[in-house]
Amino acid sequence: MITVMKGFDYRDNELCCEKVRIEDVAKKVGTPFYLYSQRSIIDNYRAFDKAFKEIDHLICYSCKANSNLSICRLLKEQGAGADVVSGGELYKALKIGVEPKRIVFSGVGKTREEIEYALKNNILMLNVESIPELELTDEIAGRLKKKAPIALRINPDIDPNTHPHISTGLAKSKFGIEISRAKEVYKKAKELENIEVLGIHMHIGSQITELEPFVDSLGKIVELIKELEKEGIELRYLDIGGGLGISYKKGEKTPTPKEFAKKLLSLIKGLKYRIILEPGRAIIGDVGILVTKVLYVKKTSKKNFVIVDVAMNDLIRPSLYDAYHEIIPIGKSKVQSPKSKVMVDVVGPVCESGDYLAKDRELAEVKSGDLLAILDAGAYGFSMSSNYNARPKVAEILVEKDKYCIIRKREGYKDLIRGEQEE
């Protein structure tokens, strides 16, 4: 048995998830499909929970990473709350029974309707990101005759050393309130009749693979907390966000939840606050794959192309971030020596030059009909997918030991026109 990633191994020359042969799933449900290991999702969640066991904490799973109801329900059953960034994500969290007092609502552009929806459902906190949002929240809460529970999201102006599109903690970012104005805004919030100031929130980005940005940011936030306490502003919750990265490339070192906790606990142990964490990718990213079938192998004078039935609308990360995902054959017998591998671009059917899964990648020779697995695709895979080029969205599969379940049906052509005027 050769382990490929969490929950995935080659057994008897066939890639398996837990005890399920992936080729068997492909024969039954067709391709493409996302496939996740239930055991590994639970293991990842428990690793976070155990890492912070020394302090009072609440893990609010970041639903934007993967908001499939079955996955969110599984995490809720393990004790997770939810970090939501839209009315839709809040609806899904409530739908599966997440307790409202275990839900935090983040996001720089909450609408009037979303704020009202959150307040009517008595969630734990709205993480407010600007003075106009604070004032609107006060107005809505007054109309509803409620006290709006809020935290202020503070921008610590720290470079998280990640891709610019997923960096959120710099001063030039659209997210949060500048740390230099934080005390002023807290004082304003305390004066508002319909606002209950409960916490402080930070989130500096996603796919962060070094601990220093977290430490530097949290250090700034802790100093701010001490200054606020001197002003008589005492809070109950410290939301330290998420953003811990995973390893997408072989040999790439990323911090474990235990290492992450060890660094941060030294800064927050003395605080009498409940700590909220918002992991997403670190729980679901490295426990899922995207299975695709080779349609054609095309050779030109300049390039060799492996054309597959997955496209940028199914997994946009390579096109959007130039992100790396390892691609391997489902059958181990396809893995040949480096000398027999060929340099290819793995591309999809969408009519865009940016529709690729890998560029200039060494891959074992394949032929039409062969199955490939795109690894570490559990986070920001299906959740960022679209129907571009009128392509139906793919199926999602959850594996538990020797069984699998379709947790999202593959869309058909009729799904593409639902809600449109046909005549």
- 124/265 same-domain check: yes
Asked if 202 contacts 217 with a C-beta cutoff of 8 angstroms, the reply is yes
Exactly one of 16, 72, 351, 405 is catalytic; name it.
351
Residues 336 and 364 in one domain: yes
pLDDT at residue 338 in the model: 53
Answer yes or no: are the C-beta atoms of 194 and 115 closer than 8 Å.
no
Give 163's pLDDT tier (boundaries 50, 70, 90).
Answer: very low
303 lies in the same domain as 220: no
pLDDT, position 157: 78
pLDDT greater than 70 at residue 161? no
d(CA 76, CA 81): 6
Asked if the structure places residue 234 within a domain, the reply is: yes
E strands within 221-263?
237-239
Where does residue 301 rank: exposed (0-12), middle (13-18), buried (19+ CB within 10 A)?
exposed
State the pLDDT at residue 332: 65
Residue 271 lies in a domain: yes
Q: Is the pLDDT assigned to residue 151 strictly greater than 60?
A: yes
Q: Which of 246, 279, 312 is the last residue of a domain?
A: 279
Query: In terms of domains, do 318 and 212 share one?
Result: no
The Cα–Cα gap between 4 and 247 comes to: 12
User: Taking residues 392-398, what's their average pLDDT?
Assistant: 98
Answer with the one of 279, 311, 335 that is the final residue of a domain. Answer: 279
Confidence band for 337, pLDDT divided at 50, 70 and 90: low
Domain final residue pick, 233, 249, 279: 279
Q: Is residue 84 part of a domain?
A: no
- Average confidence (pLDDT) over 47-66: 97
Asked whether the beta carbons of 293 and 366 are under 8 A apart, the reply is no
Question: Same domain for 267 and 379?
Answer: no
Has residue 21 got a pLDDT over 50? yes
The CA distance from 369 to 377, in Å, is: 21
Most confident of the ranges 58-62, 210-214, 260-264: 58-62
Q: How many CB atoms lie within 10 A of CB 112?
A: 11
Report the C-alpha dihedral over residues 127, 129, 132, 133, rounded to 10 degrees.
-30
Query: For residue 90, what are the contacts with CB-CB under 8 A and spacing of at least 6?
Result: 82, 84, 103, 105, 114, 117, 118, 121, 123
**Is a pLDDT exceeding 50 seen at residue 278?**
yes
* 16 belongs to the catalytic site: no
Taking alpha carbons only, the member of 64, 26, 5 closest to residue 382 is 64
User: Is 72 within a domain?
Assistant: no
Token pair listed for 327:
């691609």
Q: Is the pLDDT of residue 423 over 60?
A: yes
Mean pLDDT of 255-277: 92
For residue 225, what is the domain's CATH number? 3.20.20.10
- pTM for the model stands at 0.94
CA distance 23 to 86: 36
Q: Which among 280, 200, 284 has a CA at the least distance from the CA of 244?
A: 280
Residue 251 sits in the same domain as residue 186 = yes
275, 56 Cβ separation under 8 angstroms: yes
CATH number at residue 322: 2.40.37.10
Q: Which of 211, 127, 200, 128 is nearest to 162 (CA)?
A: 211
In a domain, residue 311? The reply is: yes
Pair (138, 251) in one structural domain: yes
Measured distance CA(128)–CA(370) in Å, rounded: 49
Q: Flag whether pLDDT at 166 surpasses 90.
A: no
pLDDT score recorded for residue 169 = 40
Q: Answer yes or no: is pLDDT of 48 > 90.
A: yes
pLDDT at 167 over 50: no
Assigned domain for 14 exists? yes
Total domains present in the chain: 2
Instruction: Tell me whether residue 113 is exposed, middle or buried, using C-beta atoms within 10 angstroms of its C-beta: 0 to 12, 13 to 18, 19 or more.
Output: exposed
* Domain range for 309: 2-37+285-416
Copy the structure tokens of residue 122.
């008595």
Phi, psi of 331 (to 5 degrees): -90, 120
| Domain shared by 382 and 242, yes or no | no
331 pLDDT tier (thresholds 50, 70, 90): confident
Does the pLDDT at position 219 exceed 70?
yes
The pair of structure tokens assigned to 27 is: 């024969």
Mean pLDDT for all residues in the chain: 93
Q: Is residue 256 part of a domain?
A: yes
Which tens digit of pLDDT belongs to each residue from 223-261? Answer: 999 999 999 999 999 999 999 999 999 888 899 999 999
Please give the Cα distance from 324 to 317 (Å, whole number).
8
Task: Look at residue 380 in the predicted model and tell me its pLDDT.
Answer: 97
User: What sign does the dihedral 324-176-278-223 (CA atoms) show?
Assistant: positive
Q: DSSP secondary structure string, 398-423?
A: EEETTEEEEEEPPP-HHHHTTTS---
Co-location of 319 and 241 in the same domain: no
The verdict on residue 141 lying in a domain is: yes
Q: What integer is the mean pLDDT of 273-281?
A: 96
Residues 388 and 319 in one domain: yes
Are 309 and 259 in a shared domain?
no
Per-residue tokens: 255: 């911090």
Q: What is the pLDDT of residues 112-139, one digit of tens each?
A: 999 999 999 999 999 999 999 999 999 9
Both 183 and 214 in one domain: the answer is yes
The pLDDT > 70 percentage for the chain reads 95
Distance CA 211, CA 329 (A): 34
Instruction: For residues 392-410, give the mean pLDDT.
Output: 98
Record the tokens describing residue 385, joined without a space. 């997918």
Q: What integer pLDDT is reported at residue 168 of this predicted model?
A: 46
